[in-house]
Structure 1
Amino acid sequence: MSHRPSLLILSFSPIRSDPRVLKQVKLFSDLYDVTTCGYGDAPDGVVDHVEIPREARGWVDDKVAVATRRYRRAYWNTQAVADARPKLTGRRFDGILANDLNAVPLALELKPRFGVHGDLHEFAPKEKDDDLRWRLTVAPYTRWLCRTYLKQLASVTTVARGIADQYEADYGVKVGVVTNAAPYSEREPAPVHSPIRLIHSAAGQRYRKLENFIELMKDAPANVTLDMIVMPNEPDYVAELKAQGAGVAGLTFRDPVPYDRLVDTLAEYDVSMTFLPPTNFNLAHALPNKFFEAVQARLGLIIGPSPEMVAILEQYGLGEVVPDFSVESLRSVIARLTPESVAAWKAAAHAAARDLSSEAQQKGWEDAIAALFAEFVPGD
Structure 2
Amino acid sequence: MKVLMLVQSPIAGDSRVLREAATLTAEGHTVHIVGRDVPEGFDPGDGVTVESVTRSRGMRPPGTPRGAALTSSSGPRAVVRRAGRWLLLPEHRERTERRWRDDAAKLLAGRPAPDVVHAHDYNTLGLGAELAGRWSARLVYDSHELWFDRGLPGRPTPLGRRRGRRKETRLAGGAEVVLTVSEGIATRLRQRGLRDVRVVRNTFPMAGSEPPELPDAPAGIAYAGRIGPGRDLEAVVGAAARLAPLRTVLAGPADPGYGLDPAGVELLPPMALAEVDRLYQEVGVAVVTLTDTCANHRLALPNKLFHAVRAGVPVVAANLPELHAVVLRYGLGRLYQPGDASSLATAVKAVAADYTGHVEAVRKARPELAWEHDSRVLADAYADLEAE
Name the TM-score class by shorter chain: 0.7 to 0.9
Q: Which 10-residue stretch deviates more, 184-193 or 312-321?
A: 184-193
Give the distance between the partners of 2:228 and 2:158, measured in 1 at CA: 21
Say if 2:225 is the partner of 1:202. yes
Please say if residues 188 and 298 of structure 1, whose CA atoms lie closer than 8 Å, have aligned partners that are also in contact.
Answer: yes
Measured at CA, do residues 10 and 260 of structure 1 come closer, stay the same or move farther in structure 2, by a change above 3 Å? farther
Please say if residues 291 and 297 of structure 2, whose CA atoms lie closer than 8 Å, have aligned partners that are also in contact.
Answer: yes
Please say if residues 9 and 36 of structure 1, whose CA atoms lie closer than 8 Å, have aligned partners that are also in contact.
Answer: yes
Structure 2: which amino acid aligns with 1:356?
A: L
Match of 1:364 among 377, 380, 387: 377
Please say if residues 217 and 355 of structure 2, whose CA atoms lie closer than 8 Å, have aligned partners that are also in contact.
Answer: no
Give the distance between the partners of 1:51 and 1:108, measured in 2 at CA: 20
Measured at CA, do residues 169 and 293 of structure 1 come closer, stay the same or move farther in structure 2, by a change above 3 Å? same
Match of 2:185 in 1: 163
Q: 1:151: Cα distance to partner?
A: 0.8
Say if 2:35 is the partner of 1:38. yes
Please say if residues 33 and 47 of structure 1, whose CA atoms lie closer than 8 Å, have aligned partners that are also in contact.
Answer: yes
Match of 2:72 in 1: none
Match of 2:102 among 74, 79, 82: 82
Measured at CA, do residues 201 and 280 of structure 1 come closer, stay the same or move farther in structure 2, by a change above 3 Å? same
Match of 2:2 in 1: 6
Q: Secondary structure at the match of 2:312?
A: coil
Q: Secondary structure at the match of 2:247?
A: strand
Please say if residues 200 and 273 of structure 1, whose CA atoms lie closer than 8 Å, have aligned partners that are also in contact.
Answer: yes
Q: Secondary structure at the match of 1:373?
A: helix
Match of 2:256 in 1: 235
Structure 1: which amino acid aligns with 2:316?
A: I
Say if 2:272 is the partner of 1:245. no
Structure 2: which amino acid aligns with 1:29?
A: T
Measured at CA, do residues 47 and 202 of structure 1 come closer, stay the same or move farther in structure 2, by a change above 3 Å? closer
Match of 2:140 in 1: 117
Please say if residues 204 and 235 of structure 1, whose CA atoms lie closer than 8 Å, have aligned partners that are also in contact.
Answer: no
Q: 1:131: Cα distance to partner?
A: 5.7
Say if 2:123 is the partner of 1:102. yes
Equivalences for residues 154-193 of structure 1 within 5 A: 154-185=176-207, 186-192=209-215
Q: 1:349: Cα distance to partner?
A: 1.4
Please say if residues 203 and 371 of structure 2, whose CA atoms lie closer than 8 Å, have aligned partners that are also in contact.
Answer: yes
Match of 1:48 in 2: 49
Q: Secondary structure at the match of 1:211?
A: helix
Q: 1:195: Cα distance to partner?
A: 6.1
Please say if residues 10 and 96 of structure 1, whose CA atoms lie closer than 8 Å, have aligned partners that are also in contact.
Answer: yes
Measured at CA, do residues 264 and 90 of structure 1 come closer, stay the same or move farther in structure 2, by a change above 3 Å? farther
Percent of aligned positions that are identical: 24
Match of 2:155 in 1: 133
Question: Which runs of no fewer than 5 residues in structure 1 stay unpaired?
Answer: 68-73, 376-380
Match of 2:114 among 72, 76, 93: 93
Q: Which 10-residue stretch deviates more, 48-57 or 155-164?
A: 48-57
Structure 2: which amino acid aligns with 1:145?
A: K
Match of 1:297 in 2: 311
Say if 2:305 is the partner of 1:281. no
Measured at CA, do residues 75 and 132 of structure 1 come closer, stay the same or move farther in structure 2, by a change above 3 Å? closer
Q: Secondary structure at the match of 2:155?
A: helix
Say if 2:165 is the partner of 1:148. no
TM-score normalised to structure 1 length: 0.83
Please say if residues 146 and 171 of structure 1, whose CA atoms lie closer than 8 Å, have aligned partners that are also in contact.
Answer: no
Q: Secondary structure at the match of 1:107?
A: helix
Please say if residues 182 and 358 of structure 1, whose CA atoms lie closer than 8 Å, have aligned partners that are also in contact.
Answer: yes
Give the distance between the partners of 2:166 and 2:273, measured in 1 at CA: 34
Report the aligned-residue RMSD. Answer: 2.8
Q: 1:207: Cα distance to partner?
A: 2.4
Please say if residues 235 and 344 of structure 2, whose CA atoms lie closer than 8 Å, have aligned partners that are also in contact.
Answer: no
Q: How many residues align?
A: 350
Q: 1:329: Cα distance to partner?
A: 1.6
Q: Secondary structure at the match of 1:117?
A: strand
Match of 1:348 in 2: 361
Structure 2: which amino acid aligns with 1:159?
A: V
Structure 1: which amino acid aligns with 2:103?
A: D
Measured at CA, do residues 323 and 109 of structure 1 come closer, stay the same or move farther in structure 2, by a change above 3 Å? closer
Question: Which runs of no fewer than 5 residues in structure 2 stay unpaired?
Answer: 59-84
Give the distance between the partners of 2:161 and 2:257, measured in 1 at CA: 26
Measured at CA, do residues 197 and 219 of structure 1 come closer, stay the same or move farther in structure 2, by a change above 3 Å? closer
Match of 1:306 in 2: 320
Match of 1:71 in 2: none
Measured at CA, do residues 258 and 50 of structure 1 come closer, stay the same or move farther in structure 2, by a change above 3 Å? same
Measured at CA, do residues 261 and 94 of structure 1 come closer, stay the same or move farther in structure 2, by a change above 3 Å? farther
